[in-house]
Amino acid sequence: EAQVTQNPRYLITVTGKKLTVTCSQNMNHEYMSWYRQDPGLGLRQIYYSMNVEVTDKGDVPEGYKVSRKEKRNFPLILESPSPNQTSLYFCASSLSWGGGTEAFFGQGTRLTVV
Amino acid sequence: DAKTTQPNSMESNEEEPVHLPCNHSTISGTDYIHWYRQLPSQGPEYVIHGLTSNVNNRMASLAIAEDRKSSTLILHRATLRDAAVYYCILLPHAGNMLTFGGGTRLMVKP
């Protein structure tokens, strides 16, 4: 089954404790991205990757890092999480860059930083 | 950036057709019109997209106005599982940042 898998689904952590949210897709997609969703602010892009070893900032990259060492995986790293990073996070992938393709989303990771 | 305008909420009866409108008067010639939906506690799910012509797939139909300044997502027979927030989004030909606004919350009554 074609899917984007995120882990964990839920995470509660303390301020400053490094964490990684994993994202994996099984569709051989070139393009992957991370979003955060907050009430009243909609979905905002954090980082994206057009292919292996190619990443770039989205709208709200501060406090986040990503890497794309393999095509299927695109982890999101919070080196020193803060309470304002409490949010619902989604990973997405699509076959290529451009408006002509559909995006597939993971089920989400609900992160709480205390 | 081209923006879209959708009603905050709509109601439908089960098994009846639903027409969800979207206005995008500042759309550019290379913008694709995408629709996604988000069910409670789930990630966004692709529904349909189009450029100029009307489109049909197993989930829905997309009717695009001739001037492309508006579009309508049509669910032919609403079910309780279709209750979700529906987002209308414009994506440029060369670009892939999905910006979700408020969307339309669709409620389906049995």
Chain B residues lying within 8 Å of A2, measured CB to CB: none
How confident is the model over B24-70, as pLDDT tens digits?
999 988 899 999 999 988 999 999 999 999 999 999 999 999 999 99
Beta bridge partners of A55: A49
Residues counted in chain A: 114
Q: If pLDDT is split at 50, 70 and 90, which confidence band does A30 have?
A: very high
How much is the average pLDDT of B63-83? 96
Q: Rounded distance, CA A1 to CA A12, Å?
A: 30
Comparing C-alpha atoms, which of B26, B28, B29, B7 is closest to residue B18? B7
pLDDT of residue B14: 96
pLDDT of residue B1: 56
Q: How do the residues of chain B divide into helix, strand and coil, expressed in percent and rounded to 5? A: 5, 50, 50
Chain A residues whose C-beta is within 8 A of a chain B C-beta are 4, 31, 33, 35, 37, 42-45, 48, 58-59, 90, 92, 94, 97-108
Q: Which residue of A has its CA nearest to B95?
A: A98
Measured on CA atoms in the order A95, A98, A100, B79, is the torsion positive or negative?
A: positive
Q: Which residues of A14-52 are buried (b: 16+ CB within 10 A; e: fewer)?
A: eeeeebebebbbeeebbbbbbbbbeeeebbbbbbbbbee
Residue B90, CA atoms < 13 Å, CB-side half-sphere: 23
Q: Are A92 and A105 in contact (CB under 8 A)?
A: yes
Contact between chains at B95 and A90 (C-beta distance less than 8 A)? no
Q: Is the bond preceding B44 in cis, omega lying within 30 degrees of 0? A: no
Residue A22, CA atoms < 13 Å, CB-side half-sphere: 9
- Token pair listed for A86: 């409490």
pLDDT of residue B2: 61
* Torsion angles phi and psi, residue A104, rounded to 5: -110, 135
How much is the average pLDDT of A14-25? 98
Residue keyed to tokens 């669910």: B75
Please state, as a whole number, how many other Cβ atoms lie within 10 Å of the Cβ of residue A100: 17
Residue keyed to tokens 């995986």: A73
Average per-residue pLDDT for chain B: 92
User: Pick from A4, A58, A99: which is nearest to B92 by CB?
Assistant: A99
pLDDT of residue A9: 97
How confident is the model over A43-101, as pLDDT tens digits?
899 999 999 999 999 999 999 999 999 999 999 999 999 999 999 999 999 998 888 88
Q: Rounded distance, CA B109 to CA B18, Å?
A: 12
- Token pair listed for A109: 């990771």
